[in-house]
Amino acid sequence: MNKIVLLLLILPFFGNSQDTHFSSRYAMKEYNNPALASAYKGSEQVSIMYRRQWSSLGSGFPFQSYAVNLNKKLEWDGSNEFSANLRFIKDLAPGKSFTQNHIILAANYKKLLTDRYNEAQFLSIGFSGGLGQNKANWEGLWFGNQYSFEQGNPDFSIESGENVSVLLAKKTFPDLNLGLAYEYYLPKFSMVASLAIHHLTKPDISFVPNLDIRNDRKISANISLNVLMKENLYFIFSPYYSRQGVFHYASGKLGFAFAAADDYDINFGVSIAPSMVQNFEGLGFESLSLQIFIEKNEYRFDLSYDATISKLSAFNGGRGAFEFSFSYTRKNYNPKSSFVRNFHQL
């Protein structure tokens, strides 16, 4: 019980030093790297996402995340492509005691390097910037000395001894991110390698006036490989790594995807993704994610479930996070375009 109380106290503030991790990289590709804003097969795309985490720890406890992505691509002269992305993200801690809001605009430029009969290469650079806001309901928070083990819940009649009146209710800050991506295509093999730096300016996120507390920069790297096993069936391997302050995060996605020859037929895929973290407690496995997607015409559904396999599983029955995303893609493009003919299954 003491560990659960400690968890309730510190988890809302971990968002200050470590970014949220989303399982579905397709719907949140620009979040991981702004250079991937154009990583979809079409001219326009709208995506929405919902994530619910750790609901088994108690009524009203779950952390929730909402995201909306708006994408637009423009190709010119056959060897250059420009993409723009507008993204909204909201994270809610239990009881809305802590909230994070983000509104980010991203721009991506993709250059065709080579386009031969059996080989193609692309290079992309992306930039994103916008505003983040952290909000805290200090009256809705409780502290360890207010927890009643006899009653099994916090007793707000007990004075906390904490002076929260001097703290700000919200903090708004600018945020800047930069990314680079390289794509390589052969008839039976494709690869995307990407690198990104997040929070370039290390924004001040302190709730305490005149106290400078910075959000750590994050560096993330991802390599995604597609191997054609047989007609229209791909094997996917996609390791991902990020570092932010003292936190290290790594995951490895393994799966299969069926990509129909006709864009308007059904595409689908299934994958697993074990994840590891290194934090204050050391290195260990965090979760095991099962992910599926199905795509028909302009519509795609992604569903994932992250089972907790860390020490936290002792308190939440091994259950972790449920994530759902829906994407609509407008496919009015030139099928002869190099940017369309060479497409990587994320």
Cα–Cα nearest to 26, from 259, 330, 326, 334: 326
Q: How confident is the model at residue 12 (pLDDT cuts 50, 70, 90)?
A: very low
CATH code for residues 2-341: 2.40.160.40
pLDDT at 55 over 90: no
Q: Which two tokens stand for residue 312?
A: 């936290």
> What is the model's pLDDT at position 179?
97
Q: How confident is the model at residue 246 (pLDDT cuts 50, 70, 90)?
A: confident
Contact 204, 323 (CB under 8 A): no
> What is the model's pLDDT at position 264?
75
Contact 89, 100 (CB under 8 A): yes
State pLDDT tens for residues 288-320: 999 999 999 899 999 999 988 877 666 666 667
Q: In whole numbers, what is the pLDDT of the chain averaged over residues?
A: 84
Cα–Cα nearest to 346, from 3, 1, 24: 24
Lowest mean pLDDT among 162-166, 193-197, 213-217, 330-334: 162-166
Mean pLDDT of 183-202: 95
Q: How confident is the model at residue 231 (pLDDT cuts 50, 70, 90)?
A: confident
pTM comes to: 0.85
> What is the model's pLDDT at position 265?
85
pLDDT > 70: what percent of the chain? 86
> What is the model's pLDDT at position 317?
60
Top mean-pLDDT range of 57-61, 305-309, 321-325: 321-325
Mean pLDDT of 196-216: 90
Question: Would residue 73 be called left, alpha or beta, if left means φ above 0 and alpha means ψ between -120 and 50 degrees?
Answer: beta
Lowest mean pLDDT among 11-15, 55-59, 74-78, 338-342: 11-15
pLDDT at 232 over 80: yes
d(CA 269, CA 263): 15
Lowest mean pLDDT among 13-17, 33-37, 104-108: 13-17
